[in-house]
Structure 1
Amino acid sequence: MLGKLFGVGRGAALKDYEVGKHLGSGNFAEVKEATRKSDGQTFAIKIIDKSKVGDMADALQTEIDILRSISHPNIIKLIAVHDEKKKMNLVMELATGGELFDRIVERGSYTEADAATLIGDLSNALFYLHAKGIVHRDLKPENLIYASKAPDSPIKLADFGLAKLVGGAIVMQTACGTPGYVAPEILANKGYGIEVDMWSVGVILYILLCGFPPFYEEEMPALFKQIMSGRYDFPSPWWDNISADAKDLVKKLLVVDPKKRFTAEQVLKHKWIQGHAPKTQLNLTVDAMKKFNARRKLKRAAMGILAKNRVQRMVELAQEADRAVTAAKKR
C-alpha cells in the first residue's frame, strides 16, 4: 500500500549505510545518523514505521514530493528514498551545527549583524519556497539548524512535515503550527496563505533581538487572543539599544493583516538586512535567551514524556481490548 503511495520501488534500503547513533524521534519515525559505505559520507536517515503512519500517509506523501522538488543552500536536502516492506527510509543531508538558539547561547559573541545574517538566510529560503508555491507552516527555532560547527556555517531550514503546496485560488484552512509562532489568520480560521511563514519570521526575529518572545501567556486562550490582536511592545532595558531599523523590520512582519505583512522579497531588500545592522554586542539579549532557551527545552522534554506516556497507555488499552476479545471468544 505505502510502497505504491510513495511512488518508489523496493530496493536496497540500509545495506549501503552503516547506521549509527540516534538523533531524534517522532510519533511514527526515528532519525539516525548513517555513514555511506562507498565513500564514508554521513547523512541523517528518517526511518518511518509504516504500521504507525495511519492517517498521516497523505501528509508524508506531500512532504516527500516537496522535498524531492527543492534544492537550496539554506534548506535540508533529501538525498534518496528507500522503500522496504515495513519501513520507508528517507536519506537526508546531515546538519551537525546545532539548533539556532543553542548556537547563539554557546558562542557568547552576538550582534544585530549576526541576527540580520540569520534572518537573511531564512528569508532567502522562504523566497525560494514561496516562489514555488510552497509554504512551510511550522517555522520555529527547532527547525533552524546550522550546517556545521564552523563559525561561518549557514543556517538550514528543516522539517517539512506540515509543508503544503499551494497555488492559484487555493486557500489553506487547516489549523497547524506551534503556539507562539502561529499567525493570527490561522487562529481566525478564515483561510490563509504563504504569508503565515512571514509572521513566524517576525516572531523569530523579535526573539533574536531581545531573547524572549513577543507573545507569551501561560494559558492558550490568552496567548491566542494576544496574537490575534497583534499586541506586543519593545520593553526596556532589552530594547533600549536595538536599532530603529531592526524595530522597523519587526513592525513590518508582525502585522495582523497578511496583505500588509512584508514578503520574503521585501525582507531581503530591507536596509537592516542589506548591511546596515550594527555590530554592537547584545549581551542582555544573550542572557535573556539563555533563560528562554532553557525553559523552552525543559517544556519540550516534558511534552515528550507526556506523549510517550500517552502512546504507552494507548498500547496498554489496545492489549487489554485484545485480551477481552480473546476471553469472550473462549466463553
Structure 2
Amino acid sequence: MGRKEINCSWKKITNNIKDIFDFKEVLGSGSFSEVYLVRERKTGNFYALKCVKKKQLHHSNLENEIKVLKRIKHDNVVGLEDFYETRTHYYLVMELVSGGELFDRILDRGVYTEKDASRVIKQVLEAVSYLHQNSIVHRDLKPENLLYYSSEENAKIMISDFGLSKMADHGVMSTACGTPGYVAPEVLAQKPYSKAVDCWSIGVITYILLSGYPPFYEENETRLFSKIMKAEYAFHSPYWDEISESAKDFIRHMLEKNPNKRFTTEQALSHAWIIGDTAHNDNIIQSVGEQMQKTFAKSKWKRVINATVVVSRMRRLQLSHADPPAPAPAPAPAPLIQVLDVSSPEMCLNLIFVFQTHARCCIRYIYVL
C-alpha cells in the first residue's frame, strides 16, 4: 500500500528533523509511532515529538488527531505546537507535560481527600465542556489520559490523546470505540450516541478517584459489558461509608443509563460537589490507595507513553546533556474495542471475542452469534 499523505496548509517541510531538534531520549513507543523528548535548537525549549512513519499512516488516527488538536486551545488540554514533514515521516511537536499520570500521583501522596478529587474532576469538566462547545467529543477519557502539567503540588490537570476524538458538528455519532470499563452503554449497544459518552466516562473516573476501584469490573468481558449496559453498580461498604452523599449524587447523575437524562458538562459544573462545600476533607488515601494497588497493579496502568508525557527524567536532562540510559520497554496499551453488528443490549450477551494483535496494540472485535 502506498504512503498516505496528510494535506495540511500549515505543516512545515524539512529534509532532516534533527536540524531543528536535538533528540534527548525515547519517552515511549507504540505500534505506529515513537515519542521523543527533544530540545528545539533555535529556542532551547523542550517538547515531546511524536514521530509517525508515512508508510504506517493508514493504521493510525494521526490525521484525525491533528485536525482536532489544531482546532482547540485550552489550559487543560495538551497542545499541538507545530507539525513537520520529511520524505518518510510526520512529526507532531507537542506541549511537554512532566507531572505524570493521575493515578501515580495519588498513590504517591500522603494526604488525599474528596476535595482533591473534586478539584481534579472540575478541571476535567471545564476542559471537556470546552471541547463539547467546539463540537468535539473525546470518546476515550480514562485516567491514563489525565496528566499533571508539572511535578508541583498544585499543578493543573491536562487531557491528552485525541486519537479517537471526533468532530461531531451534527451531534450524533455511531462508530463504536473506547476502552473497556469506561465506555457508555449506548456505545456498547451500537446506538447513535452523542457527547454524553464523555460525561459517562467522567462518572467512571470520579467513582474510581473516590474508592480506588471501578464501578464496573469483571474478568469476563461479556459480564462486564452486561453490567455497563444495565448501569449496574453500587456504593459498597466500607469503601463508601465516609464518602459524602453529595459525591454519590454527582456520580449517579453522571452514570445515568439514559444519555438524555445524564448530566451534561454544564450541569455537572453546577453541582454542589463541584462548586459548593459538600466534598469532605477527610484523608482517604489509605483506603483509596490500597484499593487502587489491588485493583490496578501499577504496571497495569503504565501504558505506552504518548506524545504528551515525560517523567521526572526531564529535570535531569535540563541539568545535564549526558546521554540518558535506554528506557525500559513500554507495556502494551489498553485494548480498544469495536462493536460490530449489535442491534440491542440483549444481543450483546451472545458474543464471541476474536483477538487481532498488531504488534503491541490489541483490538477486540465483538461479533454477535
TM-score (norm 1): 0.88
| Counterpart Cα distance in 1 of 2:263 and 2:358 | 41
| Counterpart Cα distance in 2 of 1:298 and 1:38 | 36
35, 40, 64: which is aligned to 2:39?
35
Match of 1:51 in 2: 55
| Matched-pair contact (CA < 8 Å) for 2:199–2:263 | yes
Tell whether 2:297 aligns with 1:294. yes
| Matched-pair contact (CA < 8 Å) for 1:137–1:197 | yes
Q: How many residues align?
A: 309
One-letter amino acid of the structure 2 residue matched with residue 21 of structure 1: E
| Counterpart Cα distance in 2 of 1:302 and 1:220 | 21
Match of 1:252 in 2: 253
- SS class of match (1:241): coil
14, 22, 27: which is aligned to 1:23?
27
User: Residues 9 and 148 (structure 1 numbering): CA distance in 2 closer, same or farther, change over 3 Å?
Assistant: closer
| Counterpart Cα distance in 2 of 1:14 and 1:45 | 11
- Deviation of the 1:27 alpha carbon: 1.7
| Matched-pair contact (CA < 8 Å) for 1:3–1:83 | no
| Counterpart Cα distance in 2 of 1:305 and 1:71 | 27
Match of 1:157 in 2: 159
| Counterpart Cα distance in 2 of 1:306 and 1:229 | 22
| Counterpart Cα distance in 2 of 1:228 and 1:196 | 13
- Deviation of the 1:311 alpha carbon: 4.7
- Deviation of the 1:139 alpha carbon: 0.4
| Matched-pair contact (CA < 8 Å) for 1:102–1:293 | no
**Could you list the runs of 5+ residues in structure 2 that have no partner in the other structure?**
304-329, 337-355, 361-369
| Counterpart Cα distance in 2 of 1:268 and 1:306 | 30
- SS class of match (2:297): helix
User: Residues 72 and 3 (structure 1 numbering): CA distance in 2 closer, same or farther, change over 3 Å?
Assistant: same
9, 13, 17: which is aligned to 1:10?
13
- Deviation of the 1:275 alpha carbon: 3.7
| Matched-pair contact (CA < 8 Å) for 2:181–2:217 | yes
Match of 1:75 in 2: 77
| Counterpart Cα distance in 2 of 1:196 and 1:78 | 24
Give 1:1-331 correspondences, 5 Å limit. Answer: 2-7=4-9, 8-11=11-14, 13-56=17-60, 59-168=61-170, 170-276=171-277, 277-282=279-284, 283-294=286-297, 297=300, 303=332, 310-311=357-358
TM-score (norm 2): 0.79
Post-superposition, which runs of at least 4 consecutive aligned residues in structure 1 deviate over 6 A?
A: none
| Matched-pair contact (CA < 8 Å) for 1:249–1:270 | yes
Q: Could you report, residue by residue, the CA deviation over 1:250-272 in whole angstroms, capped at 9, with x for unpaired residues?
A: 00100110011111111111111
One-letter amino acid of the structure 2 residue matched with residue 15 of structure 1: D
| Counterpart Cα distance in 2 of 1:97 and 1:122 | 16
- Deviation of the 1:102 alpha carbon: 0.5
| Counterpart Cα distance in 1 of 2:184 and 2:301 | 24
- SS class of match (1:46): strand
User: Residues 11 and 3 (structure 1 numbering): CA distance in 2 closer, same or farther, change over 3 Å?
Assistant: farther
One-letter amino acid of the structure 1 residue matched with residue 43 of structure 2: D
One-letter amino acid of the structure 2 residue matched with residue 182 of structure 1: V
Q: Which has the larger radius of gyration?
A: 1
Q: Could you report, residue by residue, the CA deviation over 1:185-235 in whole angstroms, capped at 9, with x for unpaired residues?
A: 000101111100000000000000000000001111110000000000000
One-letter amino acid of the structure 2 residue matched with residue 119 of structure 1: I
| Matched-pair contact (CA < 8 Å) for 1:104–1:110 | yes
| Counterpart Cα distance in 2 of 1:71 and 1:306 | 28
| Matched-pair contact (CA < 8 Å) for 2:76–2:156 | yes
User: Residues 295 and 229 (structure 1 numbering): CA distance in 2 closer, same or farther, change over 3 Å?
Assistant: farther
One-letter amino acid of the structure 1 residue matched with residue 218 of structure 2: E
- Superposed CA RMSD in Å reads 2.3
Match of 1:326 in 2: none
- From the two aligned structures, give the one with the greater strand fraction: 2
- SS class of match (1:107): coil
- Deviation of the 1:62 alpha carbon: 1.8
| Matched-pair contact (CA < 8 Å) for 1:113–1:275 | no
| Counterpart Cα distance in 2 of 1:198 and 1:166 | 15
Judge which range, 4-13 or 140-149, deviates more: 4-13
| Matched-pair contact (CA < 8 Å) for 2:147–2:159 | yes
Q: Could you report, residue by residue, the CA deviation over 1:233-257 in whole angstroms, capped at 9, with x for unpaired residues?
A: 0001100000010000000100110
- From the two aligned structures, give the one with the greater helix fraction: 1
- Percent of aligned positions with the same letter in both sequences? 44
- SS class of match (1:82): strand
- SS class of match (2:108): helix
| Counterpart Cα distance in 1 of 2:301 and 2:98 | 22
| Counterpart Cα distance in 2 of 1:177 and 1:129 | 17
One-letter amino acid of the structure 2 residue matched with residue 17 of structure 1: F
- SS class of match (2:64): helix
